[in-house]
Chain A
Amino acid sequence: MLPAPLAAQVAPGVEIQLPTASRLTIDGPLVRARGTLTDAAIRELLQSGFPARLHYRVELWADGRFFDELQRTVEWDVVVRFLGVEQAYEVVQLVGERPLSLGAFKRVEDAEIAASRPVRVPIAAPPENRRFYYLATLEVETLSMSDLDEVGRWLRGELRPAVQGERNPGTAFTRGIRSLATRLLGGDRRQYRERTPTFRPPADAVR
């Protein structure tokens, strides 16, 4: 068996690492979570059937003289859920609407390692003579807050759920109540942020 991961002993957060200087305009940064599922409350909720969702958002900013300028943004998710029948934790990475299984694991520690695997973000800095930086934001939810949003949507009604293919409002209400109850039991949403140092693309790459 694998040893307990180091991640279990570190403060939760998100890490972002710049590519090497020569590849700043070719590759995006490397982003990974750190110790996000180590909290006892989150693990209890996972075992109770409530999925954990790690939502990543990475922004590339240009450092302006007065105001900074948002250049590009990417988002993706990693969902961890407990499969009761198989007694395993399934980890799925979602980019857009395309899922990628990162495996099913008997131990939550292994699931956390899979959920925390580094991702090369496909937003490289443009070859311009400006200063840039990346900002990574990781939101960890022990259940989907969209459930709550859905209750709101149901209450406010409107045609949107019907027009846009969202789910049955009765089901949404049930899941929303479950969400509320679970949040009262300790589920919530946590956000972590990390910013890279400001960098300038190498001179030979600048147009």
Chain B
Amino acid sequence: MRRIFRLMVAGAIAAVLVPSLLDAQVRVARSGSTVTSAVAVYNASATMRVSGALEVAADREVTGDVAVLNGPVVIAGRITGSLVAINADVRLATGARIGEQLLVIGGTVERADGVQVGGEVRVQAEVLRYSMQGERLVPEEAGRSDWRPHWDGPGMEDRPERYTDLFYVAAQTYNRVEGLPILAGPRFRLPTEWGRMQVEAFGIVRTAGPMRWDRGTLGHDVRAELRLGVKNGLTLSGRAFDRIDPVEAWQLQDKEAGLATFVLHRDHRDYYGRHGWEGALGGRLGEEASLQFVAGSETWRAVEARRPFTLFRDSERWRENPAMDVGQLDLASVRLRVDTRERARSPWLGGWYLSADFERGSGTLVRDPGPSPILNAPEAVTYTRGFLDARRYNKLSPGTEVNMRLLLGGWLGGDELPLQKRSSIGGPGAVDGYDFRRATRDPVDVFTCGGIDSWPGRAALCDRVAMAQLEVRQEFDLDWFRTDRGDTWWRPGFNTHGAWVLFADAGRGWRTATGGAGIEYANGIPPLSTFRTTIGAGVDFGSIGFYFAKALSTGDEPMNVIVRLGRRF
């Protein structure tokens, strides 16, 4: 009623003023495109504007032009001027009369018999995107940048965002050493015309019992970053930390490792303490490529599994967290990241993911003796290590992909690697047909290079690892499985859309010195015949996937069933 009343008042005012206010600009614009004409009418000072529903009853008359946003519009009475409907449907009931034009954008017209329209009727089906500058409506430029998709896969950053939080709380991966590490503290990020500033200062509280107010329970992570250049440019960052980090984390995503620990009492990672600082100088090309030179100094320590709560098997003992080397090292590294998976219309440059690290460490360590009872003395250590994770994603047609991954990592030179920098293979995410750090049917431990049999916690001891993965994916719909329309029956939480996946993995680890037969290869890559291979198949529903994996190179290894949260890689 209030709207009708406003309409009547506006109509009365317009009846007096409108003829003199219908300026030439509007009339000229009306000879242009539908959008131009409609916007000109909308922005004319004399036009009566309505946002939302408009209904003109049969006994009503509105003098002058009327412009409506969103609607719907129902006209049974009379409008003496033009009617413009933007992103609105118009229904002209019997007896409706429009004195001049009828312009509809982003809507439809339903017209009864006996309707009179004095001028042109123009209808454009598609929605008009616009912004409001005060009272004026400004159509949006048809630029494509906003319409670009976000790649939500691993490794891509979200868009720059501004925030200031004096007390922000976040958490890190649930694990058997820390439980849930909770980070709390201030942070801010300020995008500017010349780049971006970002500072975070978090204290860390670890929830695993027994709670002790020492470095087992408390830590910190403080970092600052300065970006020079909005899209491309330099980055300068510094960081001080006292953290507990995994030895290797490439096999599983963090959420998978966290859930396996929290729910199943299975932690597939090993951990060590890091206390120190690092500074980095780098460059980046958009979000697709970055190169960083990092220097820092760290003190490493061994940490033990504690007693975090788990949903199942809570009373069982945890796999021991392997002992680590202890000491202080100066580290220098180069980190390269390339991610062009989002890039379309570039078949060769697009579809790549590359993560490469080269690290040189130098310092003094007390090496852990492992099963030997003899304690080692501190020794000077200098090593170099490299790590490469290269992936190629090929879209062959809508819904069909062939993806490949090559992973190489380990010792490149100098002294023996510290335990913190050794590697392993086998288990979910790394040659899936084999169990995590078990080799009961395999005479040679190519998975941990000797750690399974004799080292507490089945430590990862390989100096080098190599792995190749290949998968073929084809999307499918489950429309045949159930009909959605009118179906109010309980549904399981899977998408009606998924992808079947066929895959094959091959990989192994080896020592470059003191490994014994079948494990030690001082130079080059071991014979390919010694690699452990797996084939498998599964179904990926996006946020969850189920796979069967069968070891080929060890015939009597039973088939594994693996659940992944997201893509395999």
Contacts and interface: CB of A to CB of B under 8 A. Distances in A.
B1 interface: no
Given A12-B484, A110-B72, A184 B490 contact: yes
A76 B144 CA distance: 11
* Most chain B CB neighbours (cut-off 10 Å) among A73, A120, A159: A159
A59 to B, nearest CB: 7
B555 interface: no
Contacts of B189: 165
Contacts of A11: 485
A30 B126 contact: yes
A135 B398 contact: yes
Interface string A96-117: 1110111111100010011001
Contacts of A145: 543
B160 to A, nearest CB: 9
Given A70-B345, A157-B173, A169-B170, A57 B200 contact: no
A158 interface: yes
A162 B170 contact: yes
B142 A103 contact: no
B52 A155 contact: no
Interface string A40-69: 110000000000000001010100000111
B162 to A, nearest CB: 8
A183 B493 contact: yes
Name A's interface SS: mixed
Given A67-B397, A149-B543, A162-B200, A155 B345 contact: no
Nearest to B170: A162
Contacts, number: 199
B560 interface: no
Interface stretch (B113-121, B147-155, B227-235, B433-441): B147-155
A117 B88 CA distance: 9
Given A40-B488, A70-B345, A162-B183, A155 B255 contact: yes
B347 to A, nearest CB: 6
Interface stretch (B257-265, B357-365, B520-528): B257-265
A191 B496 contact: yes
Interface string B527-569: 0000000000000000100000000000000000000010000
Interface in A69-128: 69-76, 93, 95-98, 100-106, 110, 113-114, 117-123
A194 B382 CA distance: 59
24 contacts: A61-B397, A61-B398, A69-B347, A72-B344, A110-B72, A113-B89, A114-B87, A119-B126, A122-B144, A145-B543, A152-B259, A152-B565, A155-B258, A157-B171, A159-B221, A164-B157, A164-B161, A168-B169, A169-B169, A169-B170, A184-B493, A188-B494, A189-B496, A191-B497
Given A12-B485, A61-B398, A68-B396, 16 more contacts: A40-B486, A93-B127, A96-B147, A102-B127, A117-B106, A117-B107, A122-B147, A156-B256, A158-B172, A162-B168, A164-B158, A184-B493, A188-B491, A188-B496, A189-B495, A189-B497
Interface of A: 1-2, 11-12, 30, 38-41, 57, 59, 61, 67-76, 93, 95-98, 100-106, 110, 113-114, 117-123, 135, 139, 145, 148-149, 152-159, 161-166, 168-170, 180, 183-186, 188-191, 193, 195
